[in-house]
Structure 1
Amino acid sequence: MPHRTGHSAAMGDTTHTRAGLFYGIGAYTLWGVLPLYLHLLKDVPPAQVLSHRVLWSLLLLAAVILASRRLRPLLAVARGRVLAMLAASAALIAVNWFVYIWAVDNAHLVEASLGYFINPLVNVALGMLLLGERLDRLQGAAIGLAGIGVLILALSGGGAIWISLSLALSFGFYGLIRKVAAIDALGGLTVETAILAPLALGVLLYAGGNGTGAFGRDGTMDMLLILAGPVTAAPLLMFAAGAKRLRYTTMGLLQFIAPTLQFLEAVLVYHEPIRPAQLATFALIWIGCGLYAWSSVAAARRVTAA
């Protein structure tokens, strides 16, 4: 009888992990192919694309909140310090989304993918500096190599390193705030989009008033803009579901899927040029990411062995 119970528990853990991998890989794959969707909106000003992402996401998330009867608990949590933190995280994710949309529209997807390669190393650095987390030697070497790569790109001139740094830092600090804010992923994203909604609505009303609004002119474009809601919310919700089922280190390894896909799209689909300084930077970042991944796997094995 105990043998059956143990076997059932093992099967349950395996199913739990498989579901987590499905959600995690799905989330980062959707983020990785996001440029293909945004490229279809290249004729829409980035501020309008961002505004549609906010408003249609809010409608979708509000429907999920109401259907799951979570509105009252959400209102009870989203106040005071938590609300102030979500206002800051909303500003950071808005900056991140705007810069990313602008980068895709203006053929800077290489720099955008570089930003998301740097991001996990930024997370490690922020954890060390602000949360008191300790680095092992491999993680320290990974951050050092990434820093050298960024410095090479900065000193080489040209390019748009500000895109990479803006994306890495904004998403890094966004993740830091969401890590310490006492609210779940669905509730936090709903409050963030609600905070941004008045500004987003103002942008669209102003654009419509002066005749530059993209919505309402073409049925296909309208449908693409409406899809901004699920395109934005789906990977975030899948990420939250995966994070609950997988080790943090496993999610850390999966996050390299997205910038890898973005880089391949930039080179193979959109034929963006890559300068020697960028190649050197990517080489150092990839080595750094490899060290980071090796360190994460080794740490997970030590925990399992213990």
Structure 2
Amino acid sequence: MKQSERTGIFYAAFAYLLWGLLPIYWKLLEHVPAKEILASRVFWSFWFMIIVLCIARRQAEFRETLTEVIRHPKKGWALVIAGFLVTGNWFIYIWAVNSEKMVEASLGYYINPLVNVVLGIFVLKEVVNRTQIFSFLLAGIGVMILTVSYGKFPWVAFSLAFTFALYGLAKKLVKVDSAIGLTLETMVVTPMAFIYMIHLFLQGELSFLAHTWTTDVLLIGAGAATAIPLLYFGKGAQLIPFYMLGFLQYIAPTLTLLLGVFVYKETFSSTHLLAFTFIWVALILFSVSKTKRYEAFGNKWKNKRSLST
């Protein structure tokens, strides 16, 4: 393995580690309404990214990208949609964590790769193999077990999975550097976040500067907590193969699940275990099917069959 790949694995794994531990951060803000946490996250993320770009002396690159986006309406709209999708995803996740739905939130990020493939099939006209189809069926069984167990559809999990998958699709259409992309996405929704914070202030309901100094620091720090993992992820993704990212991405939901069950004592029954087992097996099959070695084996098998017929 090359040194660059080792570095890439470290960056990507560290990003997923931070994402997996992020619920601890939101739990520290449990006394603040989810909408205000979201507004603070958007607002401070934008200013944190502006500082990062200035330190890295990438202001000119940011202006060039912004000009290009304005000149091409399709890219502009894709970026606006991406901004709203990621904001919606953040809100659902914050609300889920602070409403004792961490286990269901982890499920959302487990099934997200499968939702990505569904979008790939129907939107990008991508082709899937039999193993991937079988993995969908297994995951579907797991979701059905959970639905019957809950007595209702696991909407939190699916909302997280679909908003993040659609966000990824929008990002694929825009093809902008991750740091500049996050700056532009948060720039789109920052005015609304600021107006909402002003509204709360005028109503006397703003938590910022009204509680302890630790609350203020945590709300401001939400920007860094959002941006830092993404910056590490962006570096890691450039240095390692895509299939390796596929394996590493399960670090985050696994940590979230473990936090929910063992730290915050959320319910995880034998029914949950059965359902998650179906989903885990599906994800293992799906991840293996995306490796180059598996694809080479599949092509060799197809060639043998064609020769025999």
Question: Normalized against structure 1, the TM-score is what?
Answer: 0.91
C-alpha distance in structure 1 between counterparts of 2:270 and 2:203, whole Å: 44
> Would you say 1:45 and 2:33 are equivalent positions?
yes
Q: Which residue of 2 aligns with 1:227?
A: 221
> Would you say 1:214 and 2:207 are equivalent positions?
yes
State the 1:276 CA deviation.
4.1
State the 1:72 CA deviation.
2.2
Q: Which residue of 2 aligns with 1:203?
A: 196
Q: Which residue of 2 aligns with 1:73?
A: 64
Equivalent of 1:35, from 19, 23, 32? 23
State the 1:71 CA deviation.
2.8
State the 1:41 CA deviation.
0.4
State the 1:301 CA deviation.
7.3
Q: Which residue of 2 aligns with 1:7?
A: none
Q: Which residue of 1 aligns with 2:98?
A: 105
1:139–1:291 CA contact under 8 A, matched in 2: yes
Helix, strand or coil: the match of 1:208? helix
C-alpha distance in structure 2 between counterparts of 1:27 and 1:220, whole Å: 24
2:288–2:294 CA contact under 8 A, matched in 1: no
Residue 89 of structure 1 aligns to which amino acid in structure 2? A
C-alpha distance in structure 1 between counterparts of 2:18 and 2:153, whole Å: 25
Equivalent of 1:168, from 152, 158, 161? 161
Q: Which residue of 2 aligns with 1:120?
A: 113
Equivalent of 1:61, from 49, 52, 73? 49
Q: Which residue of 2 aligns with 1:16?
A: 4
State the 1:126 CA deviation.
1.4
C-alpha distance in structure 1 between counterparts of 2:46 and 2:151, whole Å: 38
C-alpha distance in structure 2 between counterparts of 1:225 and 1:45, whole Å: 12
> Would you say 1:286 and 2:283 are equivalent positions?
no
Residue 265 of structure 2 aligns to which amino acid in structure 1? H
State the 1:302 CA deviation.
3.2
State the 1:65 CA deviation.
2.5
C-alpha distance in structure 2 between counterparts of 1:95 and 1:148, whole Å: 27
1:111–1:160 CA contact under 8 A, matched in 2: no
2:75–2:173 CA contact under 8 A, matched in 1: no
Helix, strand or coil: the match of 2:2? helix
1:125–1:143 CA contact under 8 A, matched in 2: no
Q: Which residue of 2 aligns with 1:268?
A: 262
C-alpha distance in structure 2 between counterparts of 1:26 and 1:266, whole Å: 20
2:131–2:289 CA contact under 8 A, matched in 1: yes
Residue 26 of structure 2 aligns to which amino acid in structure 1? L
C-alpha distance in structure 1 between counterparts of 2:41 and 2:169, whole Å: 22
Matches within 5 A, 1:189-200: 189-200=182-193
Matches within 5 A, 1:235-254: 235-254=229-248
Residue 107 of structure 1 aligns to which amino acid in structure 2? E
Q: Please, which moves more after superposition, 197-206 or 158-167?
A: 158-167
State the 1:295 CA deviation.
1.4
Q: Unmatched 5+ residue regions in structure 2?
A: 301-309
1:96–1:171 CA contact under 8 A, matched in 2: yes
Matches within 5 A, 1:109-188: 109-158=102-151, 161-188=154-181
Question: 1:4-39, CA deviations, whole angstroms, 9 ceiling, x for partnerless residues?
Answer: xxxxxxxxx712111111110011000000001110
1:77–1:183 CA contact under 8 A, matched in 2: no
1:249–1:300 CA contact under 8 A, matched in 2: no
Question: 1:142-168, CA deviations, whole angstroms, 9 ceiling, x for partnerless residues?
Answer: 111112221222233446611000000
**Identical-residue share of aligned pairs (%):** 40
C-alpha distance in structure 1 between counterparts of 2:201 and 2:48, whole Å: 23
State the 1:243 CA deviation.
1.1
Structure-2 change in CA distance of 1:204 and 1:160 (3 Å): farther
State the 1:90 CA deviation.
1.1
State the 1:64 CA deviation.
2.4
1:109–1:263 CA contact under 8 A, matched in 2: yes
